Amino acid sequence: AQLPTTSGNTLPPGAPANPIHVALPAGWSDVGPAALGMGPGSVDSDGYYIIESPLTGRTFSGPQAKIYEERDTSGHVNLLSVPFPATISAVDLLDYTQLNSGEIAPYMEQLLTAVRDYALRNGLTADDVIVTGYSLGAAYTNIMAKYADTLAGGFFADSSYVAHAVPYTYAG
């Protein structure tokens, strides 16, 4: 499976195209909606799971996540990853206004409950889940970490959280 790529089509005319093709590491793959017990409408056209926004609802490029799994040579799932992407469009900017309040946390519940159930069906614990994000995705990572004791029944309390380039949020 390929990670989402940039085709260079957004460059000005005449600019040299420099496509980025990033493959998942060996043993890693997408976890599709069927595996999580979710319908095909739970992902957008780019394969991101849609998380409804308390401000903008279900919109293209609003809050999103990918779900990846690592399997061993026997085909058993060893690890899960929940990466949240960075700001993708102007729609995302509206969601910055609710980062401090944590309003988005309950909207993550449906997807995270499906990930928890998938982890449990595969004999995994929270220690086998890595949550990460960059920029706006880092803020969502931190929100998930902040509410880990309650989201999906507290399953993710012992997961690993790695956030990069976190937008400034007030923790007070």
* pTM of the entire predicted model: 0.85
pLDDT for 89 equals 80
Q: Which of 169, 172, 146 is nearest to 159 (CA)?
A: 146
pLDDT for 56 equals 83
CA distance 157 to 172: 21
pLDDT for 96 equals 79
| Tens of each residue's pLDDT in the chain, 172 residues | 544 444 444 555 666 666 666 789 999 999 999 999 999 999 998 899 999 988 888 877 788 999 999 999 999 999 999 999 998 888 888 877 778 888 899 999 999 999 999 999 999 999 999 999 999 999 999 999 999 999 999 999 999 999 999 876 555 4
Contact call for residues 107 and 51 (beta carbons, < 8 A)? yes
Q: Please, which residues have CB within 8 angstroms of residue 117's CB and are 6 or more apart in sequence? A: 36, 37
In sequence order, the β-bridge partners of residue 83 are: 132
Task: Return the residue matching tokens 């496509």.
Answer: 19
pLDDT for 18 equals 63
